[in-house]
């Protein structure tokens, strides 16, 4: 990897970490529970869908690390390690994993589909959110908010409608970005087929 490519990667990771922070700081919707509704998941899954698995994961991990280190980038301008010990801890832990999985799925889609297929990108985001954000989010509510799993599900289900809408928006933006910048994802590794070796037997 050249120094220029590395610099571009670092810039993209930092830019998308900042995007997630902006999505978190924007006004949230309080649903009478321990965790508000924010635009974070839009930024998280867009990071994976646009940057791919590795850079998407690193961008969101940088966001979480910055908030834990004291920058006011969590929902409502919160910061500090205490946030990672509160009711929203599971959701925050699930964010970088969901970005990584979304990027992994998108990287394996046909390149043309990445630029044109909103349903495929939408499905990648929603599946990633369900596996990591919602599952770990409910686990965090059980462990940190003293809820049962049934109560955690009753709370978490209010996020689903918003998640569907945010994933639709994410897919629309991601496909547009890939049309504008078709080489944004790392090129796929191609394995060349082994060449046949001709064996000559000694003549009698």
Within 52-158, where are the H helices? 53-69, 89-107, 111-116, 118-128, 135-144, 149-156
Give, for all 204 residues of the chain, the pLDDT tens digit.
577 789 999 999 999 999 999 999 997 887 767 788 889 999 999 999 999 999 999 999 999 999 999 999 999 899 999 999 999 999 999 999 999 999 999 999 998 889 999 999 999 999 999 999 999 999 999 999 999 999 999 999 999 999 999 999 999 999 999 999 998 987 766 544 455 555 565 554
Neighbours of 178 (CB within 10 A): 22
Cα separation, 8 vs 67, whole angstroms: 23
Count, in order, helices (H) and strands (E) of the chain: 9, 0
User: Are the CB atoms for 39 and 33 separated by under 8 Å?
Assistant: no
pTM: 0.88
- Per-residue model confidence (pLDDT) at position 76: 86
* CATH class entry, domain 3-180: mainly alpha
């Amino acid at each position: 990897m050249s120094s220029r490519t590395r610099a571009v990667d670092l810039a993209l990771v930092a830019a998308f970490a900042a995007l997630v922070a902006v999505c978190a700081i924007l006004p949230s919707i309080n649903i009478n529970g321990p965790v508000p509704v924010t635009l974070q998941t839009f930024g998280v899954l867009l990071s994976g869908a646009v940057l791919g698995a590795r850079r998407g994961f690193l961008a969101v991990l940088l966001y979480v690390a910055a908030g834990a280190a004291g920058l006011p980038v969590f929902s409502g301008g919160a910061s500090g390690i205490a946030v990672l010990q509160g009711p929203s801890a599971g959701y925050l832990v699930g964010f970088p994993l969901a970005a990584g999985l979304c990027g992994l799925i998108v990287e394996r889609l046909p390149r043309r589909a990445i630029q044109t297929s909103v349903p495929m990108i939408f499905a990648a985001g929603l599946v990633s959110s369900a596996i990591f954000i919602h599952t770990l989010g409910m686990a965090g509510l059980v462990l940190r908010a003293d809820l049962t799993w049934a109560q955690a599900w009753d709370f978490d289900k209010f996020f689903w409608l918003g998640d569907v809408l945010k994933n639709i928006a994410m897919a629309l933006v991601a496909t547009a970005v890939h049309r504008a910048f078709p080489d944004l994802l790392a090129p796929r590794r191609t394995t060349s087929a082994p060449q046949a070796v001709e064996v000559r037997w000694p003549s009698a």
